[in-house]
Amino acid sequence: MIRVELPMHLRTLAGVKGEVTLDVPGAVTQRSVLDALEAKYPMLCGTIREYGTLKRRAFLRFFACQEDISHTSPDALLPEAIATGKEPLLVIGAVAGGI
């Protein structure tokens, strides 16, 4: 079971409180986790990854085990602690104050 922690606005869209848990078949990567997340919560499509390109939206970050993995390949294996559910994958809104 994979654990994912979402920012508040995405939890509101998905109608969840706290972490979400996902079954991720096969290799546990950014891509497979996000595929599973969007399959379970289709209202999140387009909010983390752009439609079409599936690129991470510019002001979102992915943290795993105290590391920023936002710029690693989406097909790289995530750390063992994420794959086993010991630690959550964090989806973080980047520090960008805006207006």
Partner 1 sequence: MSKVRLLVGTRKGAFVLTSDGKREKWDVSGPHFAGWEMYHLKGSPVDPNRLYASQSSGWFGQIIQRSNDGGKTWEQAGNKFLYDGVPGTHQWYDGTPHPWEFKRVWHLEPSLTNPDEVYAGAEDAALFNSTDGGQSWTELSGLRKHGSGPHWQPGAGGMCLHTVILDPSDAKRIYIAISAAGAFRTDDGGQTWLPINKGLRSQQIPDQDAEVGHCVHHIAMHPSRPGTLFMQKHWDVMRSDNAGDSWQDVGGNLPTDFGFVIDVHAHEPETIYVVPIKSDSEHYPLDGKLRVYRSKSGGNEWEALTKGLPQKDCYVNVLRDAMAVDSLDSCGVYFGTTGGQVYGSSDAGDSWAPIVRDLPAVLSVEAQTLA
Tell me which residues touch partner 1 (CB under 8 A).
7, 9-10, 13, 43, 45-48, 50-52, 57, 59-60, 93-94, 96, 98-99
Q: Tell the smallest beta-carbon distance from residue 86 to partner 1 (Å).
A: 28
Tell the burial category of 6 from Cβ atoms under 10 Å away from its Cβ (0-12, 13-18, 19+).
buried
Which residue, 3 or 56, is less far from partner 1 as judged by CB? 56
Residue identified by tokens 């805006």 is: 98
Name the residue nearer to partner 1 (CB basis): 28 or 89. Answer: 89
For the bound state, the minimum distance from the C-beta of residue 20 to partner 1, rounded and expressed in Å, comes to 16
CB count, 10 Å around CB of 7? 14
Torsion, Cα 93 78 89 30, to 10 degrees, reads: 50
In the complex, the smallest distance separating the C-beta of residue 21 from partner 1, rounded to whole angstroms, is 21
